[in-house]
Structure 1
């Protein structure tokens, strides 16, 4: 294993650094990139990363890494240092209010001009040239803030990878995965290995999350250059490792094993075969996810459990005004899996209290929550 340290900021006489762990041999085969806790207050991924580190060290010692695996076990040193009165706040940059998993540089538009005349009939050569140009563009950026510098470093590590897995979690949730619609077939084995109960697909989710900054450029360039072969050469996904409190060795070891088994299916590792279990859910459009909103302030009481399959019109929760006693049932209007909910039990009007993965697209625009 080789450890690299990347300086993000040197203000006030100190330094903020990011560490990346490198296993295997660059250029020997496929490259996989995994990062944890881009939302720095989402802890499960950091524990999974520690399990991955241990397993990867053993695999490397045994000569079972065919290519390169880059692991960033704590992807947001800025957010990890943020707390207000004892409460960690790592989802948003406190200096700007911007979500750390939004506004990542999308190089697809720039590459449409820089790649003009550089692509030909060999898809492998096209992939190499696109990766070279994408990495050069990312490195040429002049970040105007520490958060932008962090995003530049992370993308410079991931933009040329064959596989990018961004480990997150929700407030309270079952295992679920976000990925690009063109990657549905490639990501299906991962969903089965992780025992995901929702897999959410979008061609463009909105807001420029990290996984799309790595993957979306491929199908956009393929549409822009229809006369040359451009495969979707980066399998990228956001993996939501259940909820914030789901931090334990058994879960982390199981999740790390599933992630490594997936890398083995993609030819990155030589590892013991893990049979693909039957899928727990169909793949559904992100446009079909219904956010459930609190109708007024009050005490939140869930009447359905996570992972339940709901029919349209079913009550999911009650919101109780503690002063008047007025109680309102919150109902879904779509059928699907109840895959995520709030960790708070007192809510204000308009707060998102749950998410149901439906089969029929009905939303458009920015499809991700803040």
Structure 2
């Protein structure tokens, strides 16, 4: 694993600290990992939060979940291996300016912390030639071993590269990988791979997702696709071999920083614990699964509602509203009164699941998102904002 790792008893099970390479003499940052259950046991779940370090709800949720898992472990209820990284980006968490935390982009490279992960499928595909067959379980073991070998051979040079490498090393062999994020002003929503639906339907229902966005390749190789995507990529490369989608990976957008609330976070942590119970990682009965609040839709069908002028955004559609094609979403008001308000309308029908929390726009700024059902002609190439 990247850097020096130390392990010690801590908050429920073992606390592991992975040192990141210093960027200057006298400096040091580290990644803290919380481990529950038996190392190497199956199934394995990996959950992280704060990869975008200025998105805070997930960090609180995993802090509460860690306490719940500590209690479960004390009662002998952990059946698999569970790895939590409540603060997945200590680099970004140190980036603040003028009283605001700015943890989405790396200050040194301006790169998005949730993009540009290693393409494990490309790295290991040549090593698998002639080794895969009709036994799916055997193939999964071979592929996971090849991933581990490839990661062990990497020597990241920068602090950010070392962080990405450490997170992939911790998660590449997971059966379940959940990456907790937050949007601006938003309802709970979820991104996952098309091959993982409807297997992930219980997760979406359990967390109360108002939108589920599906894609095999969203562009930019974000973390969830770096962990889950190699399985369907390798299945295409070796069509005669039995290669299942062996990791259910998803990005969970847990509302917004404006909705950081202890009661909400407690409910979210309990929902994640129930997911782990349903999937055999923790014994005991899960709560009854809530009714699903949405259908899954293609990421290509999500309208990124874009401003056409600069000014003050006055929203005309409520967060969580069902809108029709042509509905008025917002007006952009010129505070000098030199131009009439610009009307911004929906170009699809669906749920308005996210709005921008800063009601000021410039031409081209994304001010809202609508989960539609029909792919939009402009939604090609990179499907996620930078």
TM bracket (short chain): over 0.9
Alignment of 1:144-155 (within 5 A): 144-155=157-168
Which residue is 1:368 aligned to? 384
**Residues 95-132 of structure 1, C-alpha deviation per residue, up to 9 Å, x if partnerless?**
11100000011111122101112222221111011011
Structure 2 counterpart of 1:4:
16
Per-residue deviation, residues 281-312 of structure 1 (Å, max 9, x unmatched): 11000000011111111011111111111100
Structure 2: gaps spanning 5 or more residues: 1-12
| Corresponding residue number in structure 2 for 1:232 | 245
What is the rounded CA distance, in whole Å, between the counterparts of 1:177 and 1:292 in structure 2? Answer: 18
Counterpart contact for 1:261–1:271, Cα < 8 Å: no
- 5 Å matches for 1:24-173? 24-173=37-186
> In structure 1, the residue corresponding to 2:200 is in which secondary structure?
helix
Q: Residue 220 of structure 1 aligns with which residue? A: 233
- Determine the structure 1 residue equivalent to 2:218: 205
CA distance in 2, matches of 1:65, 1:74: 22
More displaced, 33-42 or 141-150? 141-150
Q: Indicate the SS of the match to 2:251.
A: strand
Residue 28 (structure 1) shift: 2.5
Alpha-carbon separation, structure 1, partners of 2:35 and 2:43: 13
Q: What is the number of equivalent residue pairs in this alignment?
A: 370
Map of 1:322 onto structure 2:
335
TM (norm. structure 1) is 0.98
Stretches of structure 1 lacking an aligned partner (at least 5 in a row): none
**Match status 1:352 vs 2:341:** no
- Aligned mates of 1:177, 1:245 — CA distance in 2: 18
Quote the RMSD (CA, aligned, Å): 1.0
SS of structure 1 residue aligned to 2:354: strand
Query: In 2, Cα distance between the equivalents of 1:271 and 1:42?
Result: 32
Q: Work out whether 1:334 is the aligned partner of 2:348.
A: yes
Is 1:275 the equivalent of 2:288? yes
Paired with 1:235 and 1:132, the residues of 2 have a C-alpha distance of: 18
Q: 1:294 matched to which residue of 2?
A: 307
Aligned residue in 2 for 1:185: 198
Superposition deviation, residue 228 in structure 1: 1.3
1:183-220 deviations in whole A, cap 9, x for unaligned? 01111100001110000000111111000000110011
